[in-house]
């Protein structure tokens, strides 16, 4: 193993790691020397990414827990700690998008967005803190927010509320666990081409989105990995409570 790797011998748990930005981050972390627990609601996608990580010469564990189910999350974290002994890095990446005007959004749709995007961050973070980071007085927590609550946009109120919650959660938790040697930060991506956005970025909407981006291109998952590796590594040792915007110049 290369001594210059930024995450050498670290254990990372990535939720929503079966595709999109979570998958890109899992592969980047392994390239930097980490072993990875790949969680995804789609277990077969989690297994595929775990196999890709193993082919890079690192250990990986696939898990299919729904992050909005606190018991399933606790089982996943215990399984990961049983296998690897610790979790050094948590990436809360699992998320869902709902594009609907407020009057058309029913209670269940609102509830599901909050359950996955906000409750899921709470359940995973609480469990990893309790079972590994607080006892070890060390850890890096990185959660996925969005530029949506920062710039305001129509037809995404539930999503913006959930991601705004992640930003507030990140700031508050950073104060609570900072003295335990734990860094808590968030990433707010702009517009990134993934399965989550493929229905939203079509034809004229895609042109409209592109015009709002300084670099005039929609991002790809690998545009986010440098920031994720930075926040997971000792390069960001003196940073906590921050939400880093990675949007090609939108906000």
Q: Which is nearer to ligand NAP, 227 or 238 (CB)?
A: 227
Task: Report in angstroms how near the CB of residue 140 gets to ligand NAP at its nearest.
Answer: 17
Task: Report in angstroms how near the CB of residue 161 gets to ligand NAP at its nearest.
Answer: 13
Nearest to 39 by CA among 110, 7, 1, 87: 87
Interatomic CA distance for residues 194 and 9, integer angstroms: 29
Residue 35 engages ligand NAP in binding (rule: CB under 6 A):
no
Longest alpha-carbon distance in the chain? 55
Q: 40 and 18 in contact (C-beta within 8 Å)?
A: yes
Residue 192 engages ligand NAP in binding (rule: CB under 6 A):
yes
Contact string (CB under 6 A) for ligand NAP, positions 52-71, x = contact: --------------xxx---
Q: Which is nearer to ligand NAP, 93 or 133 (CB)?
A: 93
Residue 195 engages ligand NAP in binding (rule: CB under 6 A):
yes
Going from the C-alpha of 129 to that of each of 12, 107, 136, 177, 198, the distances in angstroms are 13, 31, 9, 9, 34
Residue 169 engages ligand NAP in binding (rule: CB under 6 A):
no
Going by DSSP bridges, is the β-strand pair 60-63/89-92 parallel, antiparallel, or unpaired?
Answer: unpaired
Task: Express the helix, strand and coil content of the chain in percent, nearest 5 each.
Answer: 50, 15, 35
Stretch that binds ligand NAP, among 19-27, 54-62, 77-85, 123-131 (CB under 6 A): 19-27
Interatomic CA distance for residues 219 and 95, integer angstroms: 17
Count of alpha carbons within 13 Å of 61, Cβ hemisphere only?
A: 18
Task: Report in angstroms how near the CB of residue 29 gets to ligand NAP at its nearest.
Answer: 15
Of 90-109, which residues contact ligand NAP (CB under 6 A)?
93-97
Q: Which residues are catalytic?
A: 159
Residue numbers of the site for ligand NAP (CB under 6 A)? 15-16, 18-22, 39-42, 45, 66-68, 93-97, 116, 120, 144, 146, 189, 191-192, 194-197
């Amino acid at each position: 193993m290369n001594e210059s790797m930024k995450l050498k011998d670290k254990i990372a748990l990535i939720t929503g790691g079966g595709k999109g930005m979570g998958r890109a981050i899992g592969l980047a972390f392994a390239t930097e020397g980490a072993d990875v627990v790949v969680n995804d609601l789609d277990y077969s996608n989690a297994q595929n990414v775990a196999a890709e990580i193993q082919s890079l010469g690192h250990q990986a564990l696939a898990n299919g827990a729904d992050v909005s189910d606190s018991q399933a999350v606790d089982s996943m974290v215990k399984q990961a700690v049983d296998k690897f002994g610790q979790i050094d890095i948590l990436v809360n990446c699992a998320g869902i998008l709902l594009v609907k005007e407020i009057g058309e959004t029913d209670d269940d749709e609102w509830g599901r967005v909050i359950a996955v995007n906000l409750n899921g961050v709470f359940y995973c973070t609480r469990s990893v803190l309790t079972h590994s980071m607080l006892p070890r007085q060390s850890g890096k927590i990185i959660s996925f927010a969005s530029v949506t609550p920062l710039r305001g946009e129509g037809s995404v109120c539930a999503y913006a509320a959930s991601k705004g919650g992640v930003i507030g959660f990140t700031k508050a938790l950073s104060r609570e666990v900072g003295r335990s040697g734990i860094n808590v930060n968030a990433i707010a991506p702009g517009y990134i081409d993934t399965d989550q956005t493929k229905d939203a970025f079509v034809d004229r909407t895609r042109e409209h989105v592109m015009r709002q981006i300084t670099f005039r291109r929609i991002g790809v998952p690998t545009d986010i990995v440098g920031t994720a590796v930075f926040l997971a590594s000792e390069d960001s040792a003196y940073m906590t409570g921050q939400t880093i915007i990675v949007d090609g110049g939108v906000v």
